Amino acid sequence: MSIFTFGGIILLDKLEKKFGKFAVNNLIVYLIGGYVIGYLLQFGQRFTGVPYLDYLTLEPYYILHGQIWRLVTWVIIPPQTQLIWALIMFFLYYQLGTALERTWGAFRFNVYIFGGLLFTLIGAFITYVVYFLIYKTTPIGIGNLISTYYINLSIFLAFSTCFPDMQVLLYFIIPVKMKWMSIFYLVIVGVEIVEHFVSGQWYVAVPIIASLLNYLIFFLMTRNYNRYNPKEIHRRNEFRRQATPPRTQYRDGTPIARHKCAVCGRTELSNPELEFRFCSKCNGNYEYCSDHLFTHTHVN
């Protein structure tokens, strides 16, 4: 474990002890609820002709001129997509956000989400100041470039970091592991950022980088860099060489599994790469694989 990782964990522990009671439980529900309000306002624009959402964007120029509500209201502006895809997005991010909150705890999930929002705010004002210094003109329209899309993406990336081998059905048909989907999205975002800088539209790329900064910090803080130490690699190899593999029990010539997931039914024989744990919150001896340990419904 690196000093950065260890220090980050200690800092979070201290903050949680002091401010943990103020954490917002089920934060993902409130975020989705904000999107619902945003879609209703968007729907209302079509009938009234009043651009409600234009008064809610994260526009540094207007914030500096007194419209301070924009510091908060930009969060409810929904992604531009069709209703059916919006419903699928709501369902997906409700599951991901709930699983992360169960895994980390409400306080750490709050820190992760609010950190992404704060970095986005800072990125917007940095863009505003730098644009003014370079072009000697006041930029108006930055708010149209900023949304919570990349903060939502950071939720997906964090989940895939915690559960890299969990499978999802791409287009409800193709099974794909979370780690491959996250790598794909990171490549796409990286290419998008480079294209903006190459084309001179750096002011589009800065808010994107800022909104994903919370994931970068999270990724660095959760990496165990000691695993790449040559001495540690040698120690692990020696341990594997000397360790005696556990003896498998047989019945009528058929190996008997000692662990079985109560959700998917996989065992250490069918999937030796999985780890199995009992759930302390379930009423009974229910064992789950690493993919379902934090995402299953507790048995009362």
With b for 16 or more beta-carbon neighbours within 10 A and e for fewer, the 131-163 pattern comes to beeeeeeebeebbebbbbebbbbbbbbbbbbbb
Q: Report yes or no on 231 lying in a domain.
A: no
Residues of the domain holding 291: 256-300
Residues 164 and 300 in one domain: no
Supply the pLDDT for residue 10.
Answer: 63
The pTM for the full model equals 0.69
Supply the pLDDT for residue 295.
Answer: 82
Tens digits of per-residue pLDDT, 73-96? 999 988 777 778 788 888 888 988
**In the chain, which stretches have pLDDT less than 70?**
1-10, 169-172, 220-254
The pair of structure tokens assigned to 102 is 């169960």
Residues 263 and 123 in one domain: no
Residues 132 and 281 in one domain: no
Residues 177 and 221 in one domain: yes
User: By three-state DSSP, how is residue 112 classified?
Assistant: helix
Supply the pLDDT for residue 4.
Answer: 40
Residues 60 and 165 in one domain: yes
Residues 185 and 265 in one domain: no
User: Residue 100, CB half-sphere, CA atoms under 13 Å: how many?
Assistant: 27
Out of 209, 225, 241, a domain closes at 225
Residues 30 and 114 in one domain: yes
Q: Report yes or no on 203 lying in a domain.
A: yes
Terminal C-alpha separation, the chain: 37
The neighbour count for residue 44, using CB atoms within 10 Å, is 13
Residues 134 and 283 in one domain: no
Q: Report yes or no on 250 lying in a domain.
A: no
